[in-house]
Every structure is written in C-alpha cells, then in structure tokens.
Structure 1
Amino acid sequence: MCTVTPRSRRTRLALCLSLTSGLGLPVAAIADHGDGRVETVLVEGKHSQLALEHEQALTPGGVTLVDSTEMYERSVSNLSEMLRFVPGIWAQSSSGGDAMFFSSRGSNLDATNYDMNGIKLMQDGLPVTTADGNNHNRMIDPLSASNAVIARGANALTYGASTLGGAIDFISPTAHNTESQLFLNGGSDGHIQGRLTATTVSGDFDGLITVDGKQRDGFREHSEQERSGVYANAGWKINDALHTRLYLTYIDNDEELPGPLTAEQFADDPYQAESAAITGHYQVNVESWRIANKTGWDINSNSSLSFGLSYEEQTLYHPIVDKVMVDFDGDGPMPPVEVFSLLINTDQDTFGSSLRYNLNAGDHDILAGINYGRSTVTGGQYRNDNGQRNGLTTITDNIAESVEAFLMDRWQFADQWKLVYGLQAVTTSRDVRNTDVESNTVRNPKADYDSINPRVGVIYQASPDSEWFANISRLYEAPTNYELEDDIRGNNETLDAMKGTVFEVGSRGSKTWADRHQWYWEVSLYYGQLKDEILSIDDPDEPGTSLSSNVDNTIHAGIEALFGASLALDSAGEHRIEPRLNLTINEFSFDDDPIYGNNQLPAAPGYAIKGEVMYRHNSGFFGGPTFDLVDERYSDFSNTYTVDSYALLGLRTGFSSDRWEVYGELRNLTDKDYVSVHTVRDIAPVDDALLYAGEPRSFFVGVKWQF
C-alpha cells in the first residue's frame, strides 16, 4: 500500500504509480477533491510488497523497482535473469551460473571480472559490497529478495553511493508479506533448485526462514555448480514507535569455471571448456555467513530515525590460472620452467553500519545519513596444481575503510515543482600489503581519498500519475584494493580516483484510457564526462592477470527506457495483451585519448533490447513470446576485435491461482550460437581466448505452492 498525504500527494502518488506501473500491476481509483484532500490510494497486486522507504526512491533520475512476484513467472536463478527488465544494466552470466559480468551505465567495462566494481550492492540498506567497492566474492541470490530497488548512477545518493553504476538494494521478505511456501524448478543441463520457506507471526513478533539448494551441470563443459543457502529474519515491534529486525544468511557456493575460447574454438564447439580451465580446474568457491540488524524509531509524525549494523565473513577458494610454462633454452636439454600460475585462497571480513534521519518540515523533506564500512582480506596467492594449492607465492593483508555521509532536501517550492538538492561527502582509505614469499619483499600501495559531491535536480509533476525530471550530479569512485594491487606500474604508487559530472533528463509515469487500457513508461537520457576512469587490460606476459591504469577522459552517455502496456481485448477486460520492452542505448567512448583517440569502450553493446508480449486471462493463465536483440561490441580498446550482434527468441507460459503458480519457459528457440560474455585486451589478436558462449536452446519449469 502507498498512502498519499495532502502535503506530498503529487510526488508520492507519482512514485507509487510509477513503481507499480513498472511491475504491470493494476492501480485503484483516485479521488482528488481539489481542496488539498486526496484519499488513500491502494496499489493492488497479487502480492503487494511496496512497503519500502519510497522517499529514498523519489529521485529526479533513473530508478527501477523489481518485485519478486514477477520472478516466479519465469526462470530466475542468477542476477542477470533478475535484471532482465531493468534499463541501463548490462548483466550476463558467463556460463549460466552465479559467475557473471555486470555493468551499469558503463561501469566495469574493462570486463576483466576480477572485482566487478562500480555498483554498490546492499541488502536491506546495509552493504554487501566491500568497503573498497568490489563485488568479487559473492552475488546476491535474487529469489532471496522480495523487492529490489535499482538506482543508477548518482541517483543512488540516498544510499550514500557516488559510484558510476549507482546502487542496488535487495529488500528481504518478512513473515508479514510472505506466506509459507515451497518452490521447485528445474530444466536443461541438469538444473534443479528447491526452496522451502516457513513463516510465523505471533503478536509483536514474526519470523521467516528459507532453506535453498541449487545444482546444475551447466551448458558448457566444466561449469557445474552446487549452491546451498539459509536466509532468515525475525522482527519485534517493541512498541508503536520502535521496531527492530535481525537478519541471518549462510551461503555455500561451489562453481566450476569453463574459461574463454578462441574464435576458432568457438566456431568448432562453443560449449567446450578451455583446456587450461580443465587442467587447472578453475573454480570460484565461496562460503559466507552474514548477520545484520536494523532498528527504526518513529520519533513523531514528522521525523524518524533508523540504524543498522552488518557483519559478513567469506572464504574464497579460487583456482584461476593454470601453469604457464616457458622453455628458456628453446630446444635445449633444459625442461620448461613454470613461471606463473594462480590460486587465490583468502578470508574476507566486512563490517558495515548505516544511520538515517528523516524530517518533514513544511514543504521540506530532509534526509540525512552516514555509512561506515571496513573490510579486511587476509590469506594469499598460491601456485595452482590442478585446482590444488602448491606452494604459497604471495601473502595478502589488505584493509579498506569508507565513510559516506550525505544530506539532501526535497523542497516542494511550488504546486507542481519539487527541487531535490544535496551533497555527499566521502572519505575512504586503501591499504594493500602483498609480501612476495620468495624474496620477502613487500609491496604496499596505500592512500586516502576524499571528495564532496554535490547534486541538484528538479521534478515537474505533469499530472497526478506522470512526471518529468532533470538533474546534474558529480560522481566519485576511488580505486578498489584489487586495482591498486594490479596497478600497471607495479610499485607503491597509487591510482587516482575516478570523477566526473553527469547530466540527466527523463520522465516516468502511467496513463489509463477508456477505463480498460493502461500503459507505463520510464525513460532517462544521461551524458557524463569522466576523468581518470580506471581501466584494466590483460597482461600479455602473465595471462589471466590484469593491469590497471587511469585514463584521462572518457564519455559515458545513453538512453534507458522501459515501456509496457496492459491492453484489454474485450469490454470486461477478461482477456488482455501485455507487451513490455526494455531498451538500452549506450555511447561509451574515449575522449581525445592520446592512444585510443575517440574509440568506443569495449564490452557493452551499442544497444540491447529485451522484450516480451504476454497474453493474460483473468483465470490466471498467461503465455507469449520473448525476444532479445543485442548489438555488436568490441573486445579491445583498439576496436580491432568485434563480437557479433545476436537475436534470440523464446516462449514462456504459466498459470497462477490463490495458492499455487506454475510456469514453463523455452529459451533460444532457434538454438543460436552467440557470445554472452567476453574478456578485454588492449589489441586483441584473432587467436586470443576471449569468448564465453551464451545459453543454447533450453527449457525450464517451475512451481510454487503456498500453504
């Protein structure tokens, strides 16, 4: 439910409608009496779960909401599938599992996939991303969230983020909005998954626990995955003004990595594994547990305070580079010598805290917040002997700390106008300490990074259910410890932070006509000029490792659009056609670079279109085609290696009732061979191993039963 008060009726009503319309949910009638009184607006869906702090999402820029009910109508087992209808996000699994590449507004375009920085991931407003900004060790299980809020770019100010890609906040389900249920799904290539959720509410207490297990053989050789998890939370309403919730998570995920292929290998068999991935038994195995707490205090009718703490431990076991052998004597009697192999085995601890204060003072809606995070990584790098540790080569002892503070005001300065202005201050430190075991030499790049990042925007309420917006914002992103560790200079010098200015305009809303048809939209156009963007390329002397450096000037611009409709085929609205289209157009390039000129940045396609056209009947039946159209992209900074465009066609269907739902999904009907993910080089030779195959023709079914 979204309740709209007279003081904020236009802006909050527009947000409720735009978020709900983005889910394709019906909207109840609205009574505007013209005298400042607006009745309660009830947004109804099968499982209305809009009990979010919607003032955090009310921004003059690109914000998208994903609801879990939509994720049970199709196969969603990784983050890329969850984000299918989020514009501005390019997310692809490298082999169908949790290991993936993702980018928002052109973040992480070096595509080396060793830290996946540029997007701040959060659970219930508390960090999952480490204090230095990397997401290397763990992805979020999408089915563990009831909602996800995706705030792109500087629109993530309310989360304290100033990253290029913004932030994604995954909201956990609770016993108040989730029933006890069993979910099973399975399909091609040995995919099987089961989730059992039990909930209870007793007076002022509630609790939820989910046990999850997933197993898949994978559509590529050497891409098996086994994952198990436990997700639990319990809440206590201490009194009418004070409430608290405890969260517990445990995940054990073991995933084989098939490695990239050359173009010749891809043409011969795109689903084979790289030979080195087999002999080196490439894997990414992560065991993690997390505990968190959030407490909220409604001080009075105009102000509130919330405070949260989180702590997570992760163990990473990651064989990633096979033995690199060099015959120093050519054809002489000396045998080849191993010069490099890599197995990473580390323990990572991350502590996070968050404080938020909200004050409604007349026409001003003020939000202040501060985040603190601290991450440590200890362990080391080993020689890789068929997936087993074979001698410690480097001792790792890294620390990162970060403080993000922000203050913003949403000022209703006229009947249809709201000014949103504020600033973020960030101070963060990096301390990388790598000790070479053989020589006992220590490499210790360390630095502090500080910045104040202003933002100003405006929202024009064109009608009760539509709005226009514009903003100009400053971005700031310090290097991760991984990037400092892999600095191209290889000494104790440090990289500069990336910074830039982004301008954005857009609109969102929904319209109804003839009392039977609805359509909704969400459109953003942005243009950013960045300085000192950090890009990494593969080191030709040590394959599988990356070197990082600052690039003087780059441009990140694009169009992000989500369109959808619900069109009645009869006067009663019993039969409906519901098209949905996610359109992203990217223009990412160097800007008069002394080496690359105005070349396009690699990895992201020029455009990506994902859509569907569903027929729906009031009985609960639905079905229709899905499609993907993806433009070509470059796999090197020199723009000499082009990855082809592709088009995919699929089908999905299902049926839902009050207590159960079932779906079936067929992907890649034409069984097209295509590249989903690729690595990046400076200049990519045609015989380089760069390419990861996308999913072949595949079929999935799933059923959810609530009890």
Structure 2
Amino acid sequence: MVFNIIGPHQEADILIPPHKPRRICPALLCLALGISCHAQATTETVLVTATRSAQQGFELPVAIGAVSGPDITDGQWGVNLSEALWRVPGAVALNRQNYAQDIQVSLRGFGARAAFGVRGVRLIQDGIPLTMPDGQGQAASIDLLSAARIEVLRGPFSALYGNHSGGVIQVFSEDGPEPGLALLRHAGGSDGTRDTSLKLAGRQGAVNYLLNASSFATDGARDHSAARRDSANARLRITLEGGTLTLLGNWLDQPMSQDPLGLSRAQFEENPRQADASALTYDTRKTIRQMQGGAVWEQRLGGDVLRLSAYSGTRGVTQYQSIPAATQTSPLHPGGVADFDRRFEGLGLRWTRSPRDSGDWELVAGIDADRMIDDRKGYRNFLGGPLAPTALGVIGALRRDEDNRVRSINAYLQGQWTPREDWTLHAGLRHTRVAFASRDRYLADGNDGSGAADYSDTSPVAGLLWRLTPDVHLYANLGYGFETPTFTEMSYRAGNLPGLNFDLKPSTSRSVEAGVKARPWRDAVLDAALFRVDSDDEIVVDGSAGGRTTYRNGGRTLRQGLELSLTTPLGRGLDLTTACSLLRAEYRDAIGAVAPGNRLPAVPAHACHGELAWRPGWPEWESQAATGFSTALEIHHLSGMYADDANTTLAPAYTVTALRAGWRQRLGSWELQEFLRVDNLTDRRYVGSVIVNERNGRYYEPAPGRAWMAGVAVGYRF
C-alpha cells in the first residue's frame, strides 16, 4: 500500500508494508467488541507526531487524533484553533471571545488553568516550537488557512516532547500544489467581524513555496472587545540531492485587543454583552507583536536520516490591567501595566535509524537546546495622584524592571521494535533540564527580587500495540511527565511581594492508558481510550483579579476518563463524525478552600461533538469537475464547569448547533467558492469559558448569541 506523505519538510511516496497478523483471536472476542473480524478496505491517516516518522495512525499505540483538509477551513473563519479541535476527543478549546487573552486550550484537563495563552500543552508548527522553553505558548500565531493537518497527541508519549503534561498539538502547513494557486478570500459577519487573506502557493522545479497573509478585525461580541490582527505564514522547501532544506517564517501584529474582563453571575444574567465597569475605567487592552523564523535541513545517509533545525524570534506584549489606582501606590505593588520584550531561539539535532532492508525496528535520538530572554517592566496604569488621578488607562510611573532568562536542554531517545507481525513495542526516554534566572533592576522599593531556580527530570514511556485482527488493534502505554512553572506564572506573588514566585515547584505525573482502534465496517474508523493520570504538586490558580493571576502548587490531583471517536460514511454523500470524552479531574489533597474530591475548575466532565456532513461529489481543488456543493450540521455539547477550587460556582452545561454550507465552481483556470455559516442556531445564552478563582467573583466569559459569517474565495491556477 502506497501513501503520499505531506509532512513539514518533505513530500515523498513512502511504501508502508501492510501487517498480516496471525488470526489468533477467537470470534467470540470480536463479537464482544462489536467489530467484524474480516478485513475492511479503508484509507488511513499518516501521522508523524507520536514517533517523529511517518506512520499510519492505526499502527500507533497512542491516543492521537488528526484534523485535516476541508475540516480546518471549510465554512470556518480560520482564525482560532478552537474551530478545528472540537473533532478530537479529549481536546477542549474554549473561545473566550476575548482576543486579549487568546483561546483556552486543554487536553485531558491539562492547560485549563491558563489565564491567557496556552499552558500544559506543547504547540509546534512545521517542526518549529511555538511553545517557549518554560512551557508557555500562544496559539494566535498559528495560521489555519494554510494548514494541511493538525495532529493532537494525548497521553504518556507526549512527554517525549519536553516540559509539559497534557499533550502536543502540531500543525503542518500545506504543500504548494502543481499547477500553482493564487487565492483571495474574504469573509464578513456578525459584530463587524471581517477577514481577508491572500495565498500564493505552488512548486517550481525543486522549489515548493507557500505564502499566506491575513488581516482580521472585529468590533467584538461584547462591549469593549474589539480587536485587530494581521499575520503571515511562509514556507519554502528546496529539494536537493539526498536532502531537503525548509525555510519557515511567521509574523503576527495585534496592535489592538480590548479586554472586557469577566462578568459576575448577576452581570451575565442582566446583559452578557456588557463589559465590566473597571474594563472601561482603566481601558484594559493588550498589544502583541511577534516574528519568528526557522530552518530545517534533512539529509538521508543510507538508511538513516539526519535532521538539523534552528529557529529564532521576538515577541513584545503590553497589557493594561484594571488594578485600582490606590492599590498601585503600595510600595510593593508592581503597577497596572505589564510590558515585556522577548527574544527566543533554539537548536535541534535528530538522528533516525531505520534499516532499508527491514521494517522490524527504528531508533530516534536527538537533543534540543532552547533559550528565552525577557526584558520585563511594570508601570502604573494612571497619571497623577492615587486619590485624584489625572488620567487612567495610560502608562504612568515605573514600578518594575527586571531581566528574566530561561534555558532548557532536552535529550531524548525513542524507538520501536516489531518482534513478530502482530506485536510492536514502543519506548522512549527524555531528560529535561530547565534553568530560570531573574535579575531585579528596580531597587527603588528597597527590595531585591533577584533569584534563580533549576529543575531537571527524566521521563520514561513505553507502549505496546497488539494486532488482534487486521481491523482490531489493542494498545496500552504508561509513562511519566514533568512540567515546570512558566515565567508568567512566576511573575506575581500572593500579597504583591516583589520578585518572582520561585516557591512554585514543578509538577510531575504518572499516566497509564489503554485503547482500541478498529475498522468496524468499510471506511469507518473507531477509536476508544481509557486513561488515568496521577499528578503531584500540580500548578493551579491561586487567585485572579483585574487581569493578573497568581499560582500555587495544589498537591495531588487525579484525572481518569474515557475518549471515543467514530468517523463513518452513511451513504448518499453523508458522512458522520463524532468525538466524545468523559473526564473526572479532582483534587486528592485538602489545601485551603479545597476539599479532597473537589473537581478541578474549568475542566468539563464531558464534552461531545457531532457532525453530519453532506458532500455529494464535491471535488478537491485539483479535480476537473465544474461544480460542487456541501453542507453540514454541527452539534457541540459541554457539561457544566466549576469556576473555583471550592466548587461553589458553576458555569451551566450547554448544547449549541451550527450550520454551514459551501459552493464551488470552476471555469478553466479560475475557481470560485462561496460559503456561509451560522453559529448558535437557537440563540442560546451560555458561558463560553470561565476565569478560574477570580477574586472579585467575575468568573464568567459569555459566548455570543446567534452569529453568522459569509464569504467568497477566488482562485487562479497558473
């Protein structure tokens, strides 16, 4: 069986020999699973995140999901990662409708603590990390409109990617087609939302190129929530004799993102579109500027592959917070405006050993070195005196000035071995060292907050795949994870004490997982996974107010659950996609307001997505067919989520539906696509996400009511 691999660095037709396991299972066991013992023809997705080499997802002993092709962009804004991740069980991406704080991404409950950005989950695009060496990342720089595939790895094997606990989300940009494509796309919708993008992609001899530039703006679904974001993503791959060189670059400019802050229950019930009064008083907002570039060289050496990567970038953020003026005059208070300029860079070396004459084993060894330097400052968010300020929402006196640095070194070894046709063993080991250092340059308060911390850990993982039949594969794995606090989580200490919170300890976890992957009938794929994760010293929110969040170690926690997904054709152009997860995430120790058995806040007990799509004869862009039509009905359900550790405040469960439709026409070299989408068809009022342990009781971030978008794309083949 031959699969065409479209990866981050090369495209090749790779021969993957089909396994022919011995039929050793009794028919009774197959019937118990509800699955046929007979082989079914199906097209399998080829993935690379779990093993760092191209393999069928059906052959991997891990819980891994993928979203690809039209599911990422068709009938979507293509702006937020939350638009695509509903289709992956175990993944929850909550859109705050607040571009100053980004979406809230969690995998099996890891990452739900994030007040903004992404924590506990590692982000990678085209093999270059979007997560910093301390574990913090931002999803805003991911360009979905040029993405070919998103892979989501959950469970123990994600520990082989370093400092995080929950999993890995890796985005692969599409390859330039032949003939080339110039595509102009524009969409507009509710709340003054509009997005325009221009894509240029193709190949010329040994050169494959992709460039996508987008400009997005919105007036906001709530008061004081307008935003603007301009971005670009570029990839150039050059195929040389025996190897490939890939050059990558992305750029993000978010000059204006207003922050409406959270609402109390009473405010939410009165008017979910309002902003809190303090957001208007202090003009809470954020600006972001980021540039990143990278290069990857892959060289074949006989049966081996040598890969060398390097990247570098800058990021600048200025955030205005709603801290009362009187509080900001405290001798120890760092002010109400946070400002930092960041430089980051990294190198990676990887060697893959896979003998050409045998597919029985493969070995991967590598080392990554990363560095991040922050020039962080804090200012008052007012001018004049604290009791009678002359202006609010402006940069005032300097209250904080420090130099923060973090370095990480990661060495890893992983491999797989197939001693017989129906068994494959996977194992790996990663050693991580993360060193933090901070130099306090603001000594006017009489305090020197300088300090340092050094963390290290070794994480082993192992997994076993058993090919019960050609259509039923069982697997089990276990491993250890390691996660340090990020500089952002260290930035503030309870009681507004100076310096970083070096009292935070890293969290460690132990994971076990078992699952089944099956083809119950032709072109259908069923995945199911059971898991348990025990964590020690988990990093949790201590309190949040005015856009500022402090953290602490929350003792022992437990996560256990079930994840299910099924994709299947129903005939007559209909396809069904379902993804559901059941999760119990709870504290095991009593700390403060936390009682043993309390649920972790911002973690839903169950989440389900269902999608019924009708695509009768819709061709791909490369097809010669003249017209095409599609439509789909989506249903999202999320259980209630607690917003605080004491479990006294609950955001209610909700179920919402969405409808999308699209048309395509082709006239010679010209292509035209029109699309329409309506979200929240029933105009339901619900809470989209929560702010964990918000000290003022403003926990709720409302979701929009019924919203629409419509657009058109015009393409030219050359």
The offset of 1:42, in angstroms, is 7.7
- Give 1:422's aligned residue: 428
The offset of 1:267, in angstroms, is 0.7
Is the contact between residue 366 and residue 407 of structure 1 (CA under 8 Å) also seen in structure 2?
yes
- Give 1:536's aligned residue: 541
Is the contact between residue 153 and residue 167 of structure 1 (CA under 8 Å) also seen in structure 2?
no
Give the counterpart of 1:453 among 444, 459, 477.
Answer: 459
The amino acid across from 1:523 in the alignment is A
- Give 1:257's aligned residue: 259
1:578 aligns with 2:572: no
Count the aligned residue pairs.
Answer: 649
The offset of 1:537, in angstroms, is 2.1
- Give 1:355's aligned residue: 349
In 2, Cα distance between equivalents of 1:557 and 1:323 = 41
The offset of 1:639, in angstroms, is 0.9
The amino acid across from 1:79 in the alignment is L
In 1, Cα distance between equivalents of 2:584 and 2:692 = 18
The amino acid across from 2:649 in the alignment is Y
- Give 2:678's aligned residue: 666
Deviates most, 356-365 or 655-664:
655-664
Per-residue CA deviations over 1:224-244 (Å, capped at 9, x if unaligned) read 1111122222222221x1210
The offset of 1:389, in angstroms, is 1.0
The offset of 1:509, in angstroms, is 4.0
- Give 2:26's aligned residue: none
Q: Structure 1's 42 and 504: CA in aligned 2 closer, same or farther, altered over 3 A? A: closer
Per-residue CA deviations over 1:579-612 (Å, capped at 9, x if unaligned) read 2112121111011435422211111111111212
In 1, Cα distance between equivalents of 2:341 and 2:327 = 32
| SS of equivalent residue, structure 2 residue 615 | strand
Q: Structure 1's 680 and 10: CA in aligned 2 closer, same or farther, altered over 3 A? A: farther
- Give 1:321's aligned residue: 322
Deviates most, 227-236 or 260-269:
227-236
In 1, Cα distance between equivalents of 2:275 and 2:323 = 13
- Give 1:641's aligned residue: 649
Q: Structure 1's 87 and 400: CA in aligned 2 closer, same or farther, altered over 3 A? A: same
In 1, Cα distance between equivalents of 2:141 and 2:713 = 23
Q: Structure 1's 467 and 488: CA in aligned 2 closer, same or farther, altered over 3 A? A: farther
Is the contact between residue 507 and residue 524 of structure 1 (CA under 8 Å) also seen in structure 2?
yes
- Give 2:662's aligned residue: 654
1:102 aligns with 2:75: no
| SS of equivalent residue, structure 1 residue 395 | strand
The amino acid across from 1:526 in the alignment is F
The amino acid across from 1:84 in the alignment is W
In 1, Cα distance between equivalents of 2:332 and 2:448 = 22
Please report the TM-score for the alignment, with normalisation by the length of structure 1.
0.86
| SS of equivalent residue, structure 1 residue 325 | helix
In 1, Cα distance between equivalents of 2:328 and 2:677 = 51
Give the counterpart of 1:475 among 451, 466, 481.
Answer: 481
The offset of 1:694, in angstroms, is 0.6
Unaligned runs of 5+ in 1: 12-28, 32-40, 46-51, 329-335, 569-574
The offset of 1:455, in angstroms, is 0.7
- Give 2:529's aligned residue: 524
- Give 2:399's aligned residue: 393
Q: Structure 1's 434 and 583: CA in aligned 2 closer, same or farther, altered over 3 A? A: farther
The amino acid across from 2:532 in the alignment is Y
In 2, Cα distance between equivalents of 1:59 and 1:400 = 34
In 2, Cα distance between equivalents of 1:227 and 1:544 = 21
| SS of equivalent residue, structure 1 residue 321 | coil
| SS of equivalent residue, structure 1 residue 148 | strand
In 1, Cα distance between equivalents of 2:125 and 2:250 = 11
The amino acid across from 1:500 in the alignment is S
In 2, Cα distance between equivalents of 1:326 and 1:367 = 54
| SS of equivalent residue, structure 1 residue 419 | strand
Matches within 5 A, 1:118-157: 118-135=120-137, 138-157=140-159
- Give 2:412's aligned residue: 406
- Give 1:378's aligned residue: 375
Q: Structure 1's 183 and 96: CA in aligned 2 closer, same or farther, altered over 3 A? A: farther
Q: Structure 1's 310 and 68: CA in aligned 2 closer, same or farther, altered over 3 A? A: farther
- Give 1:246's aligned residue: 247
| SS of equivalent residue, structure 1 residue 418 | strand
In 1, Cα distance between equivalents of 2:45 and 2:425 = 30
| SS of equivalent residue, structure 1 residue 439 | coil
The offset of 1:166, in angstroms, is 1.5
In 2, Cα distance between equivalents of 1:559 and 1:311 = 39
The offset of 1:162, in angstroms, is 5.1
- Give 1:589's aligned residue: 586
Per-residue CA deviations over 1:109-158 (Å, capped at 9, x if unaligned) read 33433x53101111111211111111259552322422222112333255
In 1, Cα distance between equivalents of 2:602 and 2:290 = 30
| SS of equivalent residue, structure 2 residue 70 | helix
Deviates most, 591-600 or 358-367:
591-600
In 2, Cα distance between equivalents of 1:594 and 1:227 = 41
Per-residue CA deviations over 1:307-332 (Å, capped at 9, x if unaligned) read 1111110111111224343699xxxx
Q: Structure 1's 462 and 622: CA in aligned 2 closer, same or farther, altered over 3 A? A: farther
In 2, Cα distance between equivalents of 1:525 and 1:163 = 21
Q: Structure 1's 390 and 233: CA in aligned 2 closer, same or farther, altered over 3 A? A: same
Is the contact between residue 533 and residue 553 of structure 1 (CA under 8 Å) also seen in structure 2?
yes
The amino acid across from 2:353 in the alignment is L
Give the counterpart of 2:229 among 224, 227, 237.
Answer: 227
- Give 1:25's aligned residue: none
| SS of equivalent residue, structure 1 residue 388 | coil
Give the counterpart of 1:344 among 338, 341, 351.
Answer: 338
The offset of 1:341, in angstroms, is 4.5
Is the contact between residue 323 and residue 546 of structure 2 (CA under 8 Å) also seen in structure 1?
no
Please report the TM-score for the alignment, with normalisation by the length of structure 2.
0.85
Is the contact between residue 609 and residue 636 of structure 2 (CA under 8 Å) also seen in structure 1?
yes
- Give 2:625's aligned residue: none
The offset of 1:457, in angstroms, is 0.5
Give the counterpart of 1:504 among 513, 523, 535.
Answer: 513
In 2, Cα distance between equivalents of 1:587 and 1:483 = 25
The offset of 1:6, in angstroms, is 6.6
The amino acid across from 1:351 in the alignment is E
In 2, Cα distance between equivalents of 1:666 and 1:84 = 16
The offset of 1:564, in angstroms, is 1.9
In 2, Cα distance between equivalents of 1:482 and 1:647 = 34
Is the contact between residue 508 and residue 523 of structure 1 (CA under 8 Å) also seen in structure 2?
yes
In 2, Cα distance between equivalents of 1:150 and 1:344 = 32
Q: Structure 1's 44 and 147: CA in aligned 2 closer, same or farther, altered over 3 A? A: closer
- Give 1:558's aligned residue: 561
Q: Structure 1's 327 and 321: CA in aligned 2 closer, same or farther, altered over 3 A? A: closer
- Give 1:691's aligned residue: 700
The amino acid across from 1:614 in the alignment is A
- Give 1:60's aligned residue: 61
The offset of 1:373, in angstroms, is 0.9
Q: Structure 1's 543 and 273: CA in aligned 2 closer, same or farther, altered over 3 A? A: closer
In 1, Cα distance between equivalents of 2:611 and 2:45 = 23
In 2, Cα distance between equivalents of 1:296 and 1:312 = 22
The offset of 1:430, in angstroms, is 1.2
In 2, Cα distance between equivalents of 1:84 and 1:457 = 26
Is the contact between residue 664 and residue 700 of structure 1 (CA under 8 Å) also seen in structure 2?
yes
In 2, Cα distance between equivalents of 1:44 and 1:526 = 23
Deviates most, 230-239 or 209-218:
230-239
Is the contact between residue 581 and residue 610 of structure 1 (CA under 8 Å) also seen in structure 2?
yes
- Give 2:10's aligned residue: none
In 1, Cα distance between equivalents of 2:692 and 2:339 = 25
Is the contact between residue 565 and residue 578 of structure 2 (CA under 8 Å) also seen in structure 1?
yes
- Give 2:621's aligned residue: none
Is the contact between residue 332 and residue 445 of structure 2 (CA under 8 Å) also seen in structure 1?
no
In 2, Cα distance between equivalents of 1:469 and 1:44 = 18
Root mean square deviation, CA, Å: 2.8
Is the contact between residue 418 and residue 424 of structure 2 (CA under 8 Å) also seen in structure 1?
yes
